[in-house]
Amino acid sequence: MRRFYIFSIREELMELYKDNPSNLYKILESIYYMDSEEINYGFNLFKQLCLGIDTIELNNKLYLKMHNDLVYTKIDNEHIINNLYKDEVSILKVKKSHLILESNSSYSSFFSLLNKYNKNYFICDFKENDYFFLQDMEILVK
């Protein structure tokens, strides 16, 4: 099961990191692995890079888009896709600072949905050292 952390990057930083996402990944990775004594510094750095997420709005958009699908379930701030035909199980947790997507697939169905709502999502899998801008993945999949 892969765990993707999804961050909404500030518009002014998108142009800066668009051609060199490894630098953005390194900053977010350093925040992820930061010691608890450095939490204030990490939080301030995070706020400079990322926007908050309107959890109510995103939860509502996802629910309205998918509630009629048989493979979809929603429990509080968790959206679940259990698609036996695609052999996919994905759980998207919506938080105020970021999203967490746990999936048995490298390409979750949530990626195409999220790209419709925000073009500035940056995806990180810190365990696999994998990262990409969501809009770039959409180009590869099409």
Q: What phi, psi does 123 have (nearest 5°)?
A: -105, 135
In the predicted model, what is the mean pLDDT of residues 16-30?
93
pLDDT of 95-115, one tens digit each? 999 999 999 988 899 998 898
pLDDT at residue 15 in the model:
87
Gyration radius of the chain over CA positions: 15
Tell whether 122 is covered by a domain: yes
Measured CA to CA, the distance from residue 86 to residue 42 in angstroms comes to 38
Examine residue 112 and state whether it is found in any structural domain, yes or no. Answer: yes
Q: Is residue 103 part of a domain?
A: yes
Domain span including residue 68 = 2-8+51-141
Q: Determine the number of helices (DSSP H) and then strands (DSSP E) in the chain.
A: 6, 8
Q: Is 76 left (phi over 0), alpha (psi -120 to 50) or beta?
A: left
* CATH for 122: 3.30.310.250
The answer to the question of residue 95 being in a domain is yes
Residue 138, pLDDT above cutoff 60: no
Q: Is the pLDDT of residue 141 over 60?
A: no
Q: Note whether residue 46 is domain-resident.
A: no
Residue type at 88?
E
